[in-house]
Amino acid sequence: MFSRPLKIGTRTSPLALRQTNEVIGYLKEFYPEIRVEIVLIDTYADMDKITPISDIEGTDFFTREIEEALLRGEVDFAVHSAKDLPDEIPKGLCIAATTKSIDSSEALVSKNNLKIDELKYGAKVGASSQRRKTQLKKYRKDFQLVDIRGNIGERIKKLKDDNIDAIVVASCALMRLGLEAIIAQRIPADILAPHPLQGALAVELRQDNQKLRNILEVLNGR
């Protein structure tokens, strides 16, 4: 197949590493002999914990440094959360496969395990994307919405340390990190419709690497 291990580029967060190992597991179902090496790459999103997600949605904020490494040939392919992909993939790159979502719902994590309708009037609720904030405000006009950034562990810490009553994060992220038990409620889609790609993973590579592209296409819908 390949005479050397394939280098996989991914972000440095615990969730990104779990996602990458998930893809490796799928690959090994088809190609038990495949060898891989994970290359951790800090993206701008990992360094900038201040800029609101609503300001950078649709950009390469989460993927830029990994995509640059792909174009330089430093890694063979990359694993991303599908919803983090920029609206426009850089010239020379392509998406070889998108996995099936393991859970597309939004999760409420709250103090005292309260559900969304049980939160007190004027509750402070942390959320990242504008999509989440707009829908939450439409459902409960009394909510005080607080912008939160950081990896899942950092967001949970804000719930404990920043006088926030609840946070909204992707259910799939908590599942992949083994934190499903802290979900107070999977928020119904008629209250908070999730991103259409939430829970799915995307595999990106150089467009001219047809041999690898053929191999990675088995991941579609896994």
Q: Point out the residues that are catalytic.
A: 84
- Please tell me the distance from the alpha carbon of residue 151 to that of residue 149, in angstroms, as a whole number: 7
Burial-class residue 155 by CB neighbours within 10 Å (0-12, 13-18, 19+). Answer: buried
Contact 146, 168 (CB under 8 A): no
Which token pair is 23? Answer: 């893809």
Distance CA 139, CA 171 (A): 19
DSSP assignment string, 116-167? GGGSPTT-EEEE-SHHHHHHHHHH-TT-EEEE--S-HHHHHHHHHHS--SEE
| Three-class SS state of 104 | coil
If residue 15 lies in a helix (H) or strand (E), which one and from where to where? helix 14-30
Cα–Cα distance measured from residue 18 to residue 180, given in angstroms and rounded to the nearest whole number: 14
| Distance in angstroms (rounded) separating the CA atoms of residues 67 and 62 | 10
33: exposed, middle or buried (Cβ count in 10 Å: 0-12, 13-18, 19+): exposed
